Amino acid sequence: MLPGMNEASATPAVNGIAPVLFDRPETFYRAALESLSEGVMVLDDDCRIIYANRLVSEITGYAPEELLGQTPGLLKADPDASSCGAGAASNDEPHQFEFEMKRKDGRLHWIHVRSTPYRSEGGAVGGRVVALSCIARQKNLEFENEFLQDEFRAGFGDMIGQSPALQKVLSQIATVAPTEANVLILGESGTGKELVARAIHDLSARKDRSLVRVNCASIPKELFESEFFGHVRGAFTGAIKDRVGRFELADGGTLFLDEVGEIPPDLQSKLLRVLQESQFERVGDERTRTVDVRLVTATNRDLLAEARAGRFRLDLYYRLSVFPIEVPPLRERLEDIGPLAGHFIQQAARRLGVPRPRLTEVHVRELRTYDWPGNVRELQNVIERAMILAKGAKLHFELPHRAGRDGSLVRSQPAHDPHGEEELSLDELAVREREILTAALRRTNWKIYGADGAAALLRIKPTTLASKIKRLNLREPAGTRLPSARLPARQSDFADPCKPAPTLRTGQRCAL
């Protein structure tokens, strides 16, 4: 029998309620509770469940008989939380709160709880009636919004670098962001076009509203209109409920259409209408809706050429490209490779839980020798692969093969420093030991000992150098030693690493 439905309460009035309300059988009240659109549990004075309706079972995953006699602590994801979930509120007062419930299958699920005490005829609290409602979708939207807001608040965010090419882009962003102009972002894949769109939104007056992103290349042709404008129930096969489109989701904010060149020609006219009139209809609906959306688009295609070829509406192109911004490829901003690599190393080290390795100038020069057809995204992948292989030790980059000018495949080699001796350090570039020893011997005219000898240049003992020469079977080429080489070499001969050594032919540059 449910609390309050006892024989004594069937005749006298309780709190002014006429006795006739309690003259119904218990099955009537159970049926009423089962028909509610939210879960209902009744707890006794020991905070144990004595009743749970059908919806509680659906929300928690527990059958009603599994819940009876248990405390609400069974549903707590946090084992240290209060069993009744009352928090700091008094047991004599109604209260409500949100918490992350642990379902029977182990999944976590956000619910909203309203707890109200029920009283006996004498006024004492006999237990609590608890109403549960699912708010998982609402919480997901809240968390997503908080994440996006945090991500956007940093201004230019992950747009890292000081190159003139990038500074030009940042200047354009700062100029157009406060306006309501449509922006077309141009650039190769992997250059960071989405980061530009985020920065434009974050620096605009719409920064407190949504930035909705749509990748046009991932939408099936037959679903474009529904994705953009939404649909009503029964509009087509599978439309079992109303759906809000991306334009409505972005109302008051910014809509970012990535790969806008993939929009089918028959939908381009409808997109043009929204840009001109700010109006549209959902699929299957006659009602005209009005939105206030700023449009930012991006593409790696030449849309003007596509328009002239008849594959893209020219009038739509002009509507989209009110303010075009071209993001430079990474090969045109080599100065930014060092800061970007350092940023990605820090990210990967934190994600992998390993110490952050040192990024040397030699590493940066090596990365700059590659032309990066995949741009910043490819650099990030190369860095992450190197971090995984290094396992917290020294970094070694495995740059992909590329086509040389003659069409053959070549592989990027570590860069050489024309103004220092770092490459002559065997600790730094042990993999190039043979080349370094040979170059050092050539620069000293194959002299090992003395202050102007190869051993001093390499900062190792002459006996160590002699041992390495023997181990590597290095031999002095015949006819390369000049008679003047017997005299002590002047220090000025070694001031410029790329100064031609006496053994080199005229016009030939040092290999270091």
Coil, helix or strand at residue 283: strand
Q: How far apart are CA 270 and CA 320, in angstroms?
A: 14
Determine the pLDDT at residue 484.
40
Q: Tell me, what amino acid is at 504? A: L
Q: Has domain 331-411 been given CATH number 1.10.540.10?
A: no
Q: How far apart are CA 102 and CA 111, in angstroms?
A: 10
Query: What integer pLDDT is reported at residue 144 of this predicted model?
Result: 64
**Residue 215, both tokens:** 């990748």
Q: Where are the alpha helices (DSSP H) in 241-336?
A: 246-249, 265-277, 303-308, 314-320
Q: What is the dihedral of CA 402, 384, 331, 420, to 10 degrees?
A: -90
CB 296 within 8 A of CB 255: yes
* Widest pairwise Cα distance in the chain: 128
Q: What is the pLDDT of residue 377?
A: 92
Distance CA 10, CA 22 (A): 5
What is each CA distance from 38 to 18, 114, 130, in whole angstroms? 27, 11, 10
Q: Residues 158, 161, 167, 168: is their CA dihedral positive or negative?
A: negative
Q: Where in the chain is the domain with CATH 3.30.450.20?
A: 8-134
Do 255 and 206 touch, CB atoms closer than 8 A? no
Query: Tokens for 153?
Result: 């608040």
Residues of the chain with pLDDT under 50: 4, 6-20, 81, 85-89, 152-155, 403-431, 482-512
Long-range CB pairs of 460-466 (<8 Å, 24+ gap) are 460/426, 465/437
Helix (H), strand (E) counts: the chain: 17, 16
Q: pTM of whole model > 0.75?
A: no
Look at the block and give the residue holding tokens 């031609």.
500
CATH 3.40.50.300 domain extents, the chain: 142-328
Please report which residue ranges of 61-179 form alpha helices under DSSP H.
Answer: 64-67, 136-152, 164-176
CB neighbour class for 485 (10 Å; exposed up to 12, middle 13-18, buried from 19) = middle
Of 405, 400, 357, the C-alpha closest to 379 is 400
Q: How many CA atoms lie within 13 A of 306 on its CB side?
A: 18
Q: Are strands 254-258 and 211-215 parallel, antiparallel or unpaired?
A: parallel
Judge whether 203 and 178 are in contact, CB under 8 Å: yes
Residue identified by tokens 């992998």 is 352
How far, in Å, CA of 276 to CA of 471, rounded?
Answer: 77
pLDDT at 16: 45
Strand, helix or coil at 40?
strand
Question: CA–CA separation, 381 vs 385, rounded Å?
Answer: 6
Q: What's the CATH fold of domain 142-328?
A: Rossmann fold (3.40.50)
Q: How far is CA 163 from the centre of its chain?
A: 24
Pairing of strands 39-43, 49-52: antiparallel
Q: Are 273 and 236 in contact (CB under 8 A)?
A: no
Alpha-carbon distance of 145 to 70, in angstroms, equals 36
Question: 279-281 and 288-290 as β-strands: parallel, antiparallel, unpaired?
Answer: antiparallel
Query: Is-contact 300 187, C-beta < 8 A?
Result: yes
Give the C-alpha distances (Å, rounded to integers) separating 170 from 212, 227, 337, 481.
22, 31, 17, 57
CATH architecture of 8-134: 2-Layer Sandwich (3.30)
> Cβ–Cβ contacts within 10 Å for residue 488, how many?
11
460-482 burial by CB neighbour count: b if 16+ within 10 A, else e?
bebeebeebbeeeeeeeeeeeee
- Give me the DSSP letters along 265-280: HHHHHHHHHHHHHSEE
Please, is 118 exposed, middle or buried when counting C-beta atoms within 10 Å of its C-beta (0-12, 13-18, 19+)?
A: middle
